[in-house]
Structure 1
Amino acid sequence: MPLDPQIQALLEKGAGVPATETLPVPEARAQYDARVALMAPAPQVATREFSIPGPGGPLRIRLYTPDGEGPHPLLVFFHGSGFVLCSLETHDGICRNLCAGGGVVVASVDYRLAPETKFPGPTEDCLAATRWCAEHAAELGADPARLLVGGDSAGGNLATVTALRLRDEGGPKLAGQLLLYPVTDFHTPGTPSYVENATGYGLTRATMEWFWGHYLAQPEDATHPHAAPLRAPDLAGLPPALIQTAEYDPLRDEAELYAARLQEAGVPVQVTRWAGMNHGFLFWVGRVDAARPAMEEACDWLRRTTGG
């Protein structure tokens, strides 16, 4: 179907903004942070922040707690934007919606960003944060037996890698993985959607090349399964997944290929391609009408997967 008209209007509103890949990293971060002012108000839930020990120093966590008596399921969430941009603030609305709608405690992780911390540093942070949250679930008002990981875009990549590492490196066991238009592979050779949606829909191929250039410490890292989980040799034994993709997204095909590989490995997978949407559309719940059903699907999946 055609690009959603409300998405088109948002793209037109940002038409004069410099392309991400033309900016120094601090300016690109400021540009993405400015999006927060355009987002719709999100549900009010209880929040608090604290720091935990991390591989490279303290890691900030923002905890969101739903109404009702716990312990609740626990979703450890990793924000997206190419391993380089965004923050707890930019993804506050998404986390609030998942918490309120999904009935889960959300622990949003402020992992270290590239280029200051290159691969595999962010993956180490996310693994450490997930294990810490599982070990301290009781004090978070959460149930460690209903532990999930999730994220959008690069955060989806970090969630897939965390799931792989927990499977291979001694747990804890996960109940599910919520992957919102995830990065699962390097940009080259790329997939048909990298060509079809290379420009004109927000995220571009050139921006993805810029992201990867900042994230990888050396060229050979591009094929490491902890950077490009689509290249992992074996996906058996991973937790159930919801994978959402967008029609007008360069990353659409690699996410759907990852879903297919999970299914082939016997992992329960629900995969939905959201027609008319572009990469990052879940930022716009409350501004783009068609984003709401996708968020509701994610929340319903969280409830079903955790027995809520």
Structure 2
Amino acid sequence: MRPSPYDTLIDDETWSFIDKSNAFYPADATSLDHAGQRRVYDELCQAFDAGRPPSVTVRDFSVRGPQAPIPLRQYLPDASAPKACVLYLHGGGFVLGGLESHDSICAEICDRTGYQVISVDYRLAPEHLHPAQVEDALATFRHVASDYALPIILCGDSAGGNLAAAVASATRGQALAPAAQVLIYPALGADTSKGTFVSHAHAPMLTTADMLYYDDLRSGGASPVDEPLFTPLAAPNFTGIPPTLVFTAECDPLSGDGPDYCARLTRTGGKAICFEEKGLVHGYLRARHSVLRARDSFARMISGIKTLGAGEWPY
């Protein structure tokens, strides 16, 4: 029996996506070690992988990081010289994922925007605690910004959205700063004792308990809630944050983070807009080929990335 109110909010296509996703997790999934959890997550992502469009050229390389080289994957369109660069930071709770888990997503962004995309394989928790993930994201951004004379759009889903927002905050007012950011169901650090963390505490695909679990793993059990590089909503000043698009899923504990973040940005004169995607759940990027609502949302993301890369703001 499907839980209320999700039995009416979520359509049959999305339930099929949820059921297929849940089938990858064994009954003892919570007892798996991190290697086991990563294996299951990678298998899940592979099951929804649509492959790369043939027009996209891919190259793996690395840049110097604070502790070790940071593996990157570059996606280039065949048609013409790209006019912007998308720096993509993958989701996975800071614990899961990498270059392979989001490979087809990055390839499709490249193909459909005509922009270069660079995906970042940042260090994962709990082997590497905060601020390791932010350090790698910042180091990569600074390398890319100094190497390519292109507008750079930060883009990330879930944990990656958190890292993108942290980079935007850390670089505001600096000579090397992003042109824009696109945050996809991002974890931005809202109070988990209220709002959508209560109303959607038991949502399919991600629960509030899951969020607290990942925060603990990332921080070593002591989440620094007042630190902007961990909690972007804790930033004391949002002046200088670049134009921002946020996409949230209605049926997601994180859905309240996006409107809050955008409101704080616009109050300081910035440009920001949040799209709440009705009836969708956390992780719906993987459903962009099987669920109409997810397909439409992905098309809005592509349109937004193209527009921001051209330096326009039509919202």
Q: Which runs of 5+ in 2 are unaligned?
A: 1-7
Rate the CA distance shift 1:258–1:57 in 2: closer, same or farther, 3 A. Answer: same
Q: Equivalent of 2:50, from 21, 27, 41?
A: 41
- Residue 276 (structure 1) aligned with residue 276 (structure 2): no
Divergent runs of 4+, >6 A:
none
> Taking structure 2 as the reference length, what is the TM-score of the superposition?
0.90
Check the 8 A contact 2:248/2:255 in 1, yes or no.
yes
Which amino acid is 1:86 matched to? G
Q: What's the Cα RMSD here?
A: 1.8
Check the 8 A contact 2:233/2:261 in 1, yes or no.
yes
- Residue 90 (structure 1) aligned with residue 94 (structure 2): no
- Residue 241 (structure 1) aligned with residue 244 (structure 2): yes
Which residue of structure 2 aligns with residue 185 of structure 1? 189
Distance 2:127 2:146 in 1: 29
Deviations, residues 173-204 of structure 1 (Å, cap 9, x unaligned): 22100100111005633x32112222241111
Q: Equivalent of 1:74, from 61, 75, 85?
A: 85
Distance 1:2 1:298 in 2: 22
Check the 8 A contact 2:80/2:114 in 1, yes or no.
no
Rate the CA distance shift 1:215–1:263 in 2: closer, same or farther, 3 A. Answer: same
Which residue of structure 2 aligns with residue 134 of structure 1? 145
Superposition deviation, residue 227 in structure 1: 0.4
Which amino acid is 2:177 matched to? K
Q: After the TM superposition, which residues 222-233 of structure 1 pair with which residues of structure 2 at under 5 Å, given as runs?
A: 222-233=225-236
Distance 2:131 2:143 in 1: 19
Q: After the TM superposition, which residues 155-174 of structure 1 pair with which residues of structure 2 at under 5 Å, given as runs?
A: 155-167=160-172, 170-174=174-178
Which amino acid is 2:259 matched to? E
- Residue 112 (structure 1) aligned with residue 123 (structure 2): yes
Which residue of structure 2 aligns with residue 140 of structure 1? none
Deviations, residues 110-131 of structure 1 (Å, cap 9, x unaligned): 0000001111111010000001
Rate the CA distance shift 1:220–1:37 in 2: closer, same or farther, 3 A. Answer: closer
Which residue of structure 1 aligns with residue 3 of structure 2? none
Q: Which has the higher contact order (CA 8 A, sep 6+)?
A: 1
Check the 8 A contact 1:102/1:298 in 2, yes or no.
no
Check the 8 A contact 1:81/1:153 in 2, yes or no.
yes
Which amino acid is 2:213 matched to? W
- SS where residue 276 of structure 1 aligns? strand
Which amino acid is 1:10 matched to? F
